[in-house]
Structure 1
Amino acid sequence: MITSNLLEAVQVAQVANDKFFDEQLDQSETKARIIQKYFYTWAKVVGPTAKARDGKIAYIDLFAGPGRYKDGAASTPLLVLEHAINDTTLCGMLVTLFNDADANHSSTLQTEIDKLPGIEKLKFRPQVNCNEVGKDAEKFFNETRLIPSFTFFDPFGYKGLSLKIVNGVIKDWGCDCVFFFNYGRINAGISNPKVEDHMDALFGEQRALSLRETLKGKSPDDRETLILEELSQAIKEMGGTFVLPFRFKRGKRTSHSIVFVSKHFRGYEIMKDIMARESSTEDQGVASFAYSPADASTPLLFSLTQPFDKLLTDLPTVYSGETLTMRQIYEDHSVDTPYLARNYKQALRELEVKGKITADPPKSKRPGNSFADHVKVTFK
């Protein structure tokens, strides 16, 4: 259970750049929408079971900021609380913990929370703390059983972000997290001996050592792919079964990402759909899982990979001679790909027309040639 003891145990990383909160940029707005949409859906999914247990779910933000940008726009902590105030179920269940290492930020956030209309409706008063992340946080989250929690890490750089903390906040039932991955700074820091300890904490000592060697002489695009791949594999080895990054780009280069981690396919499926809808472009109906103003204004430059054509080719090869339901194909094949359920249904409809699969029931007996989850597919 999350109690006031958590406030004494958790130390949180310094968020040093006040200019970050001067104005809410479109990328920040996109990031906030992704977090909020997932939290609201996650709460509805885990809520009934949590209510039958000890009646609590939690939202944890360890780098919460001051609550508002200087232009007056509310940041995620206030938006989450406003939603809870207007939701009768969340009012009685939601435990919130907000931390920031900057004393001005935490003090301002507390003031903004206190000013929210209806804040007194919440059964559990929001907790605001001011500390830095360190070994105490890793120890607490790894040794304490958490109530179902959605945790958000948004450090300015990489200090305070570690594999152990990620593992600690997702280890218990109903616990998922999203963290901010500052690719630009980490790309520069991975080979910098002055921040070696931080990189080791993020990737694991052996993996970081190997990555430094692998990255030598690689192109910028290859570096990005390798760094995100190694990060994902490190998280999976520690228990994060499903890892889903969403990239934010400036021009052709990725500046940062947010990375979702869950142990359950249902959470992965929900977040995948949300991130796909927030993508700035799609190709052949397959989302980019990236936000870039340049991509949005010049969609022809987005992709030449023809990802849907690849799906049409892969499915008959991977499942040759097998019979599975649409849902089984989707859950088995979609992990670590950009494809959504709707992409699989469209692909299977096209493969059926081409005679590469048979479906039970066949299209003549399916309303509007729909492809429901239970439809059985036999690959020839």
Structure 2
Amino acid sequence: MGQSFFDEQRDQSLVKAAIVAKYFDAWSRVMIANAARGIRISRLAYIDLFAGPGRYKDGAKSTPLMVLERAIADEALSKLLVPMFNDADPENVASLQSCLDSLPGKERLKNAPLILCSEVGKDAESMFTRARNCPTFSFIDPFGYKGLSRGIIQSVIKNWGCDCVFFFNYSRINAGINNDSVRHHMDALFGSERISRMRAALIDQLPHEREVFVLEELAQALKELGAEYMLPFRFRRPDGSRTSHALVFVTKNPLGYRIMKDIMAGESSTEDQGVPSFEYSPADARCPLLFSLNRPLDTLAGELLSRFSGRTMSMKSIFESHHVGTPFIERNYKAVLGQMEVQGKIVANPPAQSRPMRKGERTFSEKTMVTFPSRAA
């Protein structure tokens, strides 16, 4: 792994750190609530194989500091958290150790952070052994290490409460697909059969087709390893032309998927009709017209009419049954269902006139029942 991640434009680095830290905050709260309800949880592990120097060059905090500050501020979490950090760069490790040594309140942590300097191998495998049989949230660069096998990746996401954010440097992966010197990396990431098929398929593809194809193959490779729900968040080059890298969130829990979807939506640099882009592009502010042409929300009403023809169900059930694998978030469904009610395309109970007003519009709560008309065969 090179230094580019930590040297790159400050706003992109902060978006990455924010996504991981915000999810850790939500994930740890859910796990602590489960423990309070009687589920036996004696440890919560956080594994960061992409830990970095602790602070970016401009002084901004990276993810390890944000995670530990959250644990220090929460008494229950401070007793449960087992934090483990790794970086292949000795200078990053030394800087991180210095940052952790000076972290206020670190003595409140029951388990002192474990810091390793490794290209995975046996040292980092010990992290996964230590986290065995406890809920774990991990941040991993699967292409940045020599020893990260598909077996290790699978172990990260196989158990209850085990969620992961993978960092994919698309530019580096794209360049390495046909590079024999990193063939072992490609086999470890995609599997030898998949990468062989990819090499053949990529021969005649244009750059934009190649990008979509490679990211889709990454998702399918993770699915084969047991990923039930996945969310990608892309970062574009400074000119906004192509993807430079991506975060891919993996979970087995629909609640985790929904939480991360809201977090990534909030960190998106653009929205189209209120539908988040799930990407960050430094060029967005310079090219506002490019992001108002697709009108994605216009398709949602038709999808709902077709999918739920003849059914009566709550707004919450509609959202939970439909949103996985789409860019739509909860407020998009409420907005569209409200429009459909006004247009007479659905019947809502309670009806609009009986629901409270908010910001000049009738609310559409999770409990509002919706009846869709039956469509002729």
TM-score normalized by structure 1? 0.89
TM superposition outliers: structure 1 runs of 4+ over 6 Å: none
Q: Which residue of 2 aligns with 1:48?
A: 33
Distance of 1:161 and 1:302 partners within structure 2: 38
* Cα pair distance change 1:29/1:373, threshold 3 Å: same
CA contact (8 A) 2:45 2:131 kept: no
Tell me the secondary structure at the aligned position of residue 249 of structure 2: strand
2:75 pairs with 1:88: yes
Q: In the comparison of the two structures, how many residue pairs are matched?
A: 365
Q: Which residue of 1 aligns with 2:45?
A: 58
2:324 pairs with 1:339: no
Q: Which string of whole-angstrom CA distances, capped at 9 and with x for unpartnered residues, describes residues 146-172 of structure 1?
A: 311111114684655554333211211
Q: List alignment gaps of at least 5 residues for structure 1.
A: 1-14
* Cα pair distance change 1:159/1:348, threshold 3 Å: farther
Query: What amino acid maps onto 1:376 in structure 2?
Result: M
Q: Which residue of 2 aligns with 1:68?
A: 55
2:95 pairs with 1:102: no
CA contact (8 A) 2:347 2:372 kept: yes
Shift of 1:276: 0.6
Where do residues 1-380 of structure 1 align in structure 2 (5 Å cutoff)? Answer: 15=1, 17-18=2-3, 20-22=5-7, 25-50=10-35, 52=38, 53-134=40-121, 141=128, 145-154=132-141, 157=144, 159=146, 162-250=149-237, 251-368=240-357, 369-380=362-373
Q: Which string of whole-angstrom CA distances, capped at 9 and with x for unpartnered residues, describes residues 163-222 of structure 1?
A: 433321121111111011111111121232332221122122222222222222112221
Distance of 1:188 and 1:150 partners within structure 2: 29
Distance of 2:126 and 2:196 partners within structure 1: 24
Q: Which string of whole-angstrom CA distances, capped at 9 and with x for unpartnered residues, describes residues 258-306 of structure 1?
A: 1100001111111111111111111011000010111133221125221
CA contact (8 A) 1:241 1:263 kept: yes
The alignment yields a C-alpha RMSD, in angstroms, of: 2.3
Distance of 2:142 and 2:216 partners within structure 1: 21
* Cα pair distance change 1:23/1:189, threshold 3 Å: closer
Distance of 2:160 and 2:271 partners within structure 1: 34
TM-score normalized by structure 2? 0.89
The one of the two structures with greater contact order (alpha-carbon pairs below 8 A, sep at least 6) is: 1
* Cα pair distance change 1:207/1:89, threshold 3 Å: same
Distance of 1:181 and 1:379 partners within structure 2: 41
Q: Which string of whole-angstrom CA distances, capped at 9 and with x for unpartnered residues, describes residues 129-162 of structure 1?
A: 1222248856974897331111111468465555
Shift of 1:108: 2.8
* Cα pair distance change 1:304/1:191, threshold 3 Å: farther
* Cα pair distance change 1:162/1:325, threshold 3 Å: farther
Tell me the secondary structure at the aligned position of residue 283 of structure 2: helix
Distance of 1:139 and 1:33 partners within structure 2: 27
* Cα pair distance change 1:156/1:194, threshold 3 Å: closer
Distance of 1:341 and 1:77 partners within structure 2: 30
Tell me the secondary structure at the aligned position of residue 92 of structure 1: helix
Q: Which string of whole-angstrom CA distances, capped at 9 and with x for unpartnered residues, describes residues 25-83 of structure 1?
A: 21001111111111111111111224641332121111212212333332211122122
Distance of 1:318 and 1:309 partners within structure 2: 15
